Amino acid sequence: MNSARLLRRCLFTTLSVALVASAAVAPTHAAPRSAAAVTFSDTFDGAAGSGVDPAKWQTETGDNVDNHERQYYTQGTDNARLDGQGHLVIEARRENPGNYQCWYGSCEYTSARLNTSGRFTATYGHVEARMKIPRGQGIWPAFWMLGQDIGDVGWPESGEIDVMENVGFEPSTVHGTLHGPGYSGSGGIGAAYTLPNGQAFADDFHTFAVDWAPDSITWSVDGTVYQTRTPADLGGNRWVFDKPFFLIMNLAVGGYWPGDPDGSTSFPQQLVVDEVTVTTSG
């Protein structure tokens, strides 16, 4: 795959994204999990137009020069709000009502990015999100995790687990990737999963998940496993996934990997999140 991914970094004001896919296991169905304890859950119940639960999520703000993304991530409910029907809607718009300034000048788009840093971290478990992703050239939704120690050790030493990323020019395909010291950016370790018969991920909700254990991370879509990664895949580089990670959801616009929107891209575009859950095996 010809991708120009750079890097994801912890922002808290400006953050970035990256990955590369490689060969993986043939798709199989995930084994049923034993009794599990829910350690984090958000079903996004609440009044239409209200914000996310601040005890679970914080909203990042700013632009992202590292990947040359085009959006400005805003606070409040303009770009991230509940719909009153049990969903979170993260919306990318072609607008700049706040006169936000981006790395390239006056920002052309707004969107939102949420994380659980300082509110929730996990070390191992089943991490999943049920989402309906947007579509269109230059649109880049993601559900992913960063090591909580990123503020101390930086990226990619912190480690990054990309549960799901999609770029709009691949409507039938999502990617799952690991980044760490010696395997970051375009050297990330991962694979792609493609829906059969030309189906598009934007047409319906799908469940994107990882099963994360010591020395093993397995990715699945709707219960179908498409890759497992272990320290043996890292070419002698260090495995940095045995520590707390926090969750991130965002909807980027443009950047090196997806390319910029063009005349075929309609706005607004929405990443609709039905549920995010983290469980540990019983």
Catalytic residues: 160, 165
- Closest by CA position to 86, among listed 247, 191, 205, 242: 205
Structure tokens at 1: 């795959």
- Kindly report each contact of residues 91-99 with a partner whose C-beta sits within 8 Å and lies 24 or more positions away, as own/partner: 91/251, 91/268, 91/269, 91/270, 91/271, 92/134, 92/139, 92/251, 92/252, 92/253, 92/267, 92/268, 92/269, 92/270, 93/267, 93/268, 94/261, 94/267, 94/268, 96/72, 98/72, 98/74
Between the two ends of the chain, the Cα-to-Cα distance in Å is 39
C-beta of residue 174 within 8 angstroms of C-beta of residue 221: yes
Coil, helix or strand at residue 181: coil
- Contact call for residues 225 and 30 (beta carbons, < 8 A): yes
Give which of 173, 168, 153, 148 is closest to 245, Cα–Cα. Answer: 148
Give the number of other CB atoms < 10 A from CB of residue 40: 17
Strands 109-111 and 71-73: parallel
Are the beta carbons of 8 and 18 closer than 8 angstroms?
yes
